[in-house]
Amino acid sequence: MRLSRIVDASADIAATRSRKQKTATLRALLDDALADEIPTVVAWLSGVIGQGRLGVGWRSLSSVPTPADVTTLDVSDVDELFTRLAGAAGPGSAALRKQILEELFGAATDVEQSFLRRLMTGELRQGALAGVMVDAIASASGKPLDLVRRAHMLTGSLPQTASLAVHGGAEALADVGLEVGRAVAPMLATPADSLAEAVLALGPDVVVDFKLDGARIQVHRRGDEVSVYTRTLRDITGAVPDLVAVIRELPCDRIILDGETLTLDADGRPRPFQDTMSRFGSAGELTDDPLGLLRPFFFDCLHLDGVDLIDSPLRDRLDALTSVAPDMRIPYVVNPSVEQAQDHFDAALAAGHEGVMVKSLSGPYAAGRRGKTWQKVKPVHTFDLVVLAAEWGSGRRTGFLSNLHLGARDPDGGPPVMVGKTFKGLTDALLQWQTDQFPKHETHRDNYTVYMRPEIVVEIELDGVQRSSRYPGGVALRFARVVRYRPDKDAAQADTIDTIRGLLP
């Protein structure tokens, strides 16, 4: 397959907000690709290079040969050159990379050069989200969508999932299971309208957990080998030796746990979220200060000593968790009345936490999905939104980037949909942080506003929403205020415009 076919498909995907049209474009492309090309095509249109780091940045690509007039590059040609780039190391590697880049870009047309430059620097954003690509893989391979989706969630790899669908078929997809040491996309919760409604809707067989003001972690252990992953599946094992040490003491050989971690004050109350997140970027030295230790709290067990539990009901998964880590379970009550659930909710808030999670004890673990059997209850509505731009402040905020332009994620893979602005809740420290950090994500600016790539996620508290013709989504936030920034999340994990609209009366 010619590289130009992929470039054209990328442009077509970027030009439409229709999920149906995106899927059709991807399916047509995969239909025409050779079986061995499909994993590479899927990877590139997902913004990923199979070889990993190529040792090439924007500076290396600032001076490339004049574009070719006619397209000649095939997928296999480019993939081979990427392999050579990734393998360039040692003395003379810089000259070798330059030679390979000249060979690659010298054979590429103008639009192909633009595509390759964005792909190689991680800037390829055309709206081919994972969900759209999964639909296309299922459609092109003729395999059941549920099997393809499940395989993707368990492998965490779209190219691998595509290869299984094309080469292995339904049986190979169905055989995909958990692998200890390989992170799996976490299950997410749906916001509840009220605690009473959540308990009555999912009950009577429910568990109500504290919703901690911490950072989501997924822990894997195989013998003495421990891995710790964030919500976005980033491996932070080297930064959290205190968590690793605790997990190594559990009475089991293999386990996968889902939970939260946070640092606590001397009285057991959670310290600021930023204190917890700062540990993820540390050098990984174990501290003697008990207030600096990360404390793990778990609410699910996906695997225990050779047994996958991901498809088992939550009741069984919690039994497994209790059998090995009873002291690390998040505070919970089982089968409470509405009044007892309210008492637990009040206790969570009194302890400094966010609220509670209401979960059906019969539900499986919906990896990577916002399952209806998990509902989160907070005292006010909070959403994770994307910062699209920031306006320069006035008065005492002169010289600082202040008023935020906020966007909700488009579930069909288009750019974020603007839903409002706010400068409420911004402390002096946050104003300084925004002014220092936002220009690093800048796309352009005018006299009043710095416009940014949709990469920074902020948690916003609001009283509700209202219909509005001012913003393209037809909805606007009411009394929005900043709670905190979410460095543990990326834009693909922001709340969708559909979720925001769901608050409309």
Q: Comparing C-alpha atoms, which of 240, 243, 348 is closest to residue 296?
A: 243
Q: What is the 3-state secondary structure (H, E, C) of 6-40?
A: HHHHHHHHHCCCCHHHHHHHHHHHHHHCCCCCHHH
Is residue 211 part of the annotated active site? The answer reads: yes
Q: Comparing C-alpha atoms, which of 152, 177, 156 is closest to residue 165?
A: 152
The DSSP element (H or E) to which 435 belongs, if any, is helix 428-437
**Strand pairing class (401-408; 381-392):** antiparallel
Q: What is the 3-state secondary structure (H, E, C) of 285-325?
A: CCCCCHHHCCEEEEEEEEEECCEECCCCCHHHHHHHHHHHC
Exposure class string for 469-484: b at 16+ Cβ within 10 A, else e: eebebebbbeebbbbb
Q: Is 230 helix (H, G, I), strand (E, B) or coil?
A: strand
Which residues partner with 445 through β-bridges?
450
- Token look-up 């220009």 returns 439
Q: Which of 22, 143, 211, 489 is catalytic?
A: 211
CA distance 491 to 488: 10
Q: Is 223 helix (H, G, I), strand (E, B) or coil?
A: coil
What order do you get walking across the sheet with 206-211 strand by strand?
188-191, 370-377, 355-360, 206-211, 332-334
The catalytic residues are 211
